[in-house]
Structure 1
């Protein structure tokens, strides 16, 4: 009888949990006006969108929101006569015409401007006006966004003229490791308001926590202080991701959450264990990903990959010799964790002739994307690597940056239909090949 009662209690608890989960799902649909088929979801380990299997190789249009925010902050109207609005509209029009359905964007101003744009009531008005306009342009071209929330920027760090970076009372470690910190509370206020405001918009594909927070883990001196700033441990980053993902899902349980966290440093496990910059083995790298994603509210294993002239990132083989962690290796890690893999940033960094090592290793590398003949084989090779690995969601870095700083740089990353049509076509064709490999019909 005792064991029967315990069994009945267990059944009731499980049933209550199922009812609570169903209730949350129903409430989420009622709050947003959307259902599961309207958003990106995971079914049997596969992405679905609009009720159909989904995969895509598309682009980062990282500065889409930034350009709109800068314009309205400068007092300009975000109307059809604004040249910068026209430029963003043209970019999304081109991407739609080429068959792309999704892009990745940074949806908070850069660096310290990010939290300031929310905490200041006047700037907050500009923040939401620019975000509204961003989604208006997306809707016009049937485009959905991986929405990078910029959670990792909510610190007291400032960039001061003549001084450089000035780190205040609350730094990276305080934000990431202390849920009761002042800036964590501000972050949660921002998430609650922003996610609630836009959860009913179909243009929101997925919420991303922040950009490359994993790279801040366990670096610096023995006290994890790097260039005067206190840094978190990888375990603290894992807790931060889980907490923030949970906060997002409390407001929008329908949508997936990715971390934006980038790859692990090649020595991440050794850094976490306090053993310096010795290269990890594959299993040690896996331990890092396991710490970050196993049992986490984060739905998707997310890496950023810039292999450049190599087949992957250098780690230590079981024999102690150098080997590479490539895209197939990352797929193995994600598969073992039972979560789909996305590459939030895939790209190649053009190399100036002064970078002798890369040119000695690979004399056929490229100096600029403007040299399409030299760049194209490398772009194709990199795209082929994610297709061969079967990675279902990939964003090339990047499409049409409208920032002056990029436009003056011969090694600029961005490509577009006007300057580099052959390279853009490489991504178009790769997107088609990926869908064919995964058995997904064109949408």
Structure 2
């Protein structure tokens, strides 16, 4: 099992890697991510798994050792895309571990009573078309193709010009349970001294676009009192988001900004900024965003600018099935696994919200850093994660 895992990981490691930053650029439907999709098909073929794809770019490799097609299917896997300049483990670890777990089950002589699928969902990060977990949302019907086809990337390319959106289906109606393994995006498992943990749920979160409008002018000839500078309004709003999040013990991040005309010697006419807001409850997130928006409007009035806020993606809280969590965490060779919540979004949350009972396993991240080249997991912990996933699938498939 160790050799198979390490071989798969060695194949993936250089794909999309930036030599200058040490981070990964695996954006959906671009060359590196498509190379990973080809790798996925090769791994499935090497194991005799049947690959099913849909018109959105999602794929599932099915293991059907018995003729139990009428039984509810079991799904595992994750995603292969990354954020801009991201880490190696977020997403691919779950896909590699899923293939390795199938190998472990075969080595154990397990003959599952129902089909097991290894999934690779596209655009989980929302790094190209701006909506997180877009592939799983489309696959489950949480987002319609009519609404999604017009989404555009930074270059203005529409999703509908990249994929057709109409061909094929993953038949997720036949899936009853989904288990996603993921590198932990935090340090809870480090603090608890455990290689593996079980997720209790996912915090609610959303992405909100703030459009600040002002008046372009000369940076030298325009007196400070005569300016309507949207950059000032944005700057105060970013500080307000930080303050409000700290006061409420929630999360607020402005991580993307676009400026026009984006000249060094020009007062901007427009600033577009995206707020990522997360919290331990849906009302907490709503209150946080409302407080930030209120302060943005107050500042805009003083600056002579305007602000428009658009909710681009909002995900409610997800709390996984307690009975399933309890069954996964108990009675392992190393004792019970710890249970922890996550403030990061995942495909498991989308599937659970659409009626597919879901659970998540986390693998320890010694740095506690994610969405960064510093993201990491030790080889022994990854292999412990594979064993944990295989044991979980064996329990669930009977």
Higher relative contact order (CA 8 A, sep 6+): 2
User: Higher helix fraction: Structure 1 or Structure 2?
Assistant: 1
User: Higher strand fraction: Structure 1 or Structure 2?
Assistant: 2
Q: Shared fold (TM-score greater than 0.5)?
A: no
- How does the TM-score come out when normalised to structure 1? 0.28
